[in-house]
Amino acid sequence: MTLTGEHGPERESDDLIAAEYVLGVLSAAERQEASRRIESEPAFARLVDAWEARLSPLADAYAPAEPPQSVKAAIDRRLFASASPSSAPRAGMWASLGFWRGLAAAAVAGLAISLALPYLQPPAQPQVRLVASLAADSSNVKYLAVYDAAHHNVGLSHLSGERDQGKDFELWLIEGDKPPVSLGVIPVGTATTVSVTPSIQQQIEQGAVLAVSVEPPGGSPTGQPTGPVVATGDLKNI
Amino acid sequence: MEPQDITKLIVRTSMKDRAAFDLLYRQTSAKLFGVCLRVLSDRGEAEDALQEVYVKIWTKADRFAVSDLSPISWLVAIARNHSIDRIRSRRQPAADIEAVLEVADPSPGPEAAAVSGNEAGQIHRCLEELEDDKAAAVRGAYLKGESYAELAERYKVPLNTMRTWLRRSLMKLRECLER
C-alpha cells in the first residue's frame, strides 16, 4: 500500500513533513509551521500521530532519570499558585487575584470530585463510565465527553473549534436508525455537564453515538438537527 | 503500571483532579525527565523543560482522548517535542555534555528490543534493513532531536544530501513497518 496511489503527491509530501517533524530534524521555523498545521488541520495531525506511533518504540532507549523534588514543587507553584506562601500581599483578600483563583479552583475541584468519585471510592455495584472524543474530518471542532452513570450526566469539555457568529452547538444522541435525540445546546470554550434521563442512559449504555451540530441560537427549532454535524464519536469504556 | 492505569490518570487529570495528576507525575516523571535530559544535554534546562511539560500535561490532558497514541507514547511525545522546540530555539548546543552522553546509550541491544514487545522488535528489525550509518542517523535524530544541519555536520555531507538520505530512510521504514 502506498499513500501516493491513494492520496496523490501532496499527501505524500505532507506525510514526509509529518515524519520529519516527529523525527525532530526540522528547523525552528519549519517546526513552528508544522505545529500550527497540527492545530488547524486534522488530517495532518493524524499523519503526525501515525509517525509518533511508528517511531515510539525507539523511545525505549531513553533511560529514566529521577528528577529532583524541587521540580514538582515548582510545577505546583506554577499551576496552583494560590497555595504559595509568598503569594500576593495580604493588603485585601477581596483584591487578591490568588483569592479569586482559589475560588475558581475550588469550584472546578468540586466538579472534578463529583466526576472522579467512582474512582476514588470503589462502589458497591459496578459503575459505568464511558468516554468519547467527538471530532469529524470536515471540521476542527473537538469535544471530550465523559458519561457518568452514577451521576446521571455527561460531562463535556470543549477542546477546539469555534462556531460562526450567531450560531450555537447542539449535542445529539443517535441510536441506530432512530431519529436523533437532543441533549441541548452546549457551550464553547468551557466545560459543562448535561443531565440525562434513565431512557437516555439506557441508549448510551447500548452504544448510541454522540454528535454535535451547528444550529440557530438557542438550538434547533425543529427538534431535529438542521445544520451540519461538526463532531461525532462513540463512547468507549475506560 | 499498566497503560490502562495511565490512561485513567490522564483522563482524571483532564478533569482537574490533582490527586490523579500527582500520581501521574510520580509514575511517569522519571521517564519524561530521561527524555528531556537526553535531548537537552543540560540538567538545569531539562528541569525547566520538565516543569513546562507537566504544566502542558495538566492543561492539555483532554487532548489525549483525540489521539490514537498509547498513553506513555502520548506523554513522551509531549516531552520530546517540547525539548526539541527548546533546543531549536537555543543558539549553541552544549557540545561538551553531548560528547559525554554520546558514549552512554546509542541504541538498545537485541535483548531490550525483545523485551519491549513485537512492535518494538519490528522497528528495530526495519532499522536493520537500512545501511548502518542511516539507521544510526535515524536513531540519533529521534533520541536527541538533532536537526538536518547538525546531522549534516556530523556526517560531513551537504545538508541536502542529509535530507535526501533521511527522507528515503523514513519512506523505507514506513514500507517495512506496513509489510
Which residues on chain A are in Cβ contact (under 8 Å) with B73? 52-53, 56, 59
CA–CA min distance A25, chain B (Å): 4
Element (H, E) at B129: helix B117-129
Interatomic CA distance for residues A191 and A19, integer angstroms: 34
Q: Which of B84, B76, B103 is nearest to B45 (CA)?
A: B84
In this structure, the answer to whether residues A34 and A111 fall within a common structural domain is no
Q: Which of B73, B80, B92, B51 is nearest to B143 (CA)?
A: B80
Interatomic CA distance for residues B120 and A8, integer angstroms: 30
- Give chain A's domain count: 2
Contact A79 B58 (CB under 8 A): yes
In this structure, the answer to whether residues A147 and A115 fall within a common structural domain is no
**How many CB contacts within 8 angstroms connect chain A with chain B?**
185
Count of CB atoms situated within 10 Å of the CB of A103 = 11
Q: Which residue of A has its CA nearest to B145?
A: A24
Whether this prediction's pTM lies above 0.80 is answered by no
In this structure, the answer to whether residues A48 and A75 fall within a common structural domain is no
> Is any Cβ of chain A less than 8 angstroms from the Cβ of B27?
no
> Is any Cβ of chain A less than 8 angstroms from the Cβ of B34?
yes
Best mutation target, A6, A23, A139, to test chain B (most B CBs within 10 A): A23
In this structure, the answer to whether residues A27 and A142 fall within a common structural domain is yes
**Contact in structure between A135 and A233 (CB atoms under 8 Å):** yes
Q: Which among A35, A74, A112 has CB closest to B51?
A: A74
Q: Which among B30, B55, B108 has CB closest to A66?
A: B30
Interatomic CA distance for residues A67 and B84, integer angstroms: 19
Count of CB atoms situated within 10 Å of the CB of A126 = 9
Written as tens digits, the pLDDT of chain A (238 aa) is 444 444 456 667 999 999 999 999 999 999 999 999 998 998 999 999 999 999 999 999 999 999 999 999 999 999 987 644 433 333 334 444 444 444 455 455 544 544 554 454 444 445 667 788 888 877 888 888 888 888 888 888 888 888 888 888 989 888 878 888 888 888 887 778 888 888 888 888 888 888 898 888 888 888 888 888 888 888 776 5
- Show me where the domains of chain B are located: 3-90, 125-178
Interatomic CA distance for residues A211 and A218, integer angstroms: 17
Question: Looking at residues B71-81, what average pLDDT do you find?
Answer: 96
Contact B148 A63 (CB under 8 A): no
- The CATH fold assigned to B125-178 is Arc Repressor Mutant, subunit A (1.10.10)
Residue B107 has pLDDT above 60, yes or no: no
Contact A75 B151 (CB under 8 A): no
Residues of B numbered 117-176 whose beta carbons fall under 8 angstroms of chain A's beta carbons: which are they? Answer: 117, 119-120, 122-124, 138-139, 141-149, 151, 166-167, 170-171, 173-174
Instruction: Find out if CATH 1.10.1740.10 is the number for domain B3-90.
Output: yes
Interatomic CA distance for residues A18 and A27, integer angstroms: 13
Contact B17 A112 (CB under 8 A): yes
Q: Which among A1, A27, A54 has CB closest to B147?
A: A27
Question: Would strands A168-174 and A209-215 be described as parallel, antiparallel, or unpaired?
Answer: antiparallel
User: What is residue A11's predicted lDDT score, i.e. its pLDDT?
Assistant: 67
Boundaries of domain holding A166:
14-61+126-237
In this structure, the answer to whether residues A166 and A216 fall within a common structural domain is yes
Amino acid at A202: Q
Contact A60 B167 (CB under 8 A): no
Q: Which residue of A has its CA nearest to B174?
A: A54
Higher pLDDT, B124 or A123: B124
In this structure, the answer to whether residues A42 and A88 fall within a common structural domain is no
In this structure, the answer to whether residues A104 and A167 fall within a common structural domain is no
Confirm whether A79 is domain-assigned. Answer: yes
In this structure, the answer to whether residues A199 and A99 fall within a common structural domain is no
In this structure, the answer to whether residues A168 and A231 fall within a common structural domain is yes
The radius of gyration of chain B from alpha carbons, rounded to an integer in Å, stands at 18
User: What is residue B90's predicted lDDT score, i.e. its pLDDT?
Assistant: 78
CA–CA min distance B158, chain A (Å): 15
Hey, is A191 helix, strand or coil?
A: strand
**Contact in structure between B56 and B5 (CB atoms under 8 Å):** no
Question: Looking at residues B62-67, what average pLDDT do you find?
Answer: 82
* Domain final residue, candidates A84, A100, A120: A120
Interatomic CA distance for residues A71 and B32, integer angstroms: 12
Interatomic CA distance for residues A134 and A141, integer angstroms: 8
Confirm whether A8 is domain-assigned. Answer: no
Q: Is the dihedral of CA B80, B82, B85, B89 positive or negative?
A: negative
Q: Where are the beta strands (DSSP E) in chain B?
A: none
Kindly provide the ipTM of the predicted complex, given to two decimals. 0.85
pLDDT in tens, B136-170: 999 999 999 999 999 999 999 999 999 999 999 99
In this structure, the answer to whether residues A36 and A109 fall within a common structural domain is no
In this structure, the answer to whether residues A139 and A106 fall within a common structural domain is no
Confirm whether A4 is domain-assigned. Answer: no
In this structure, the answer to whether residues A46 and A162 fall within a common structural domain is yes
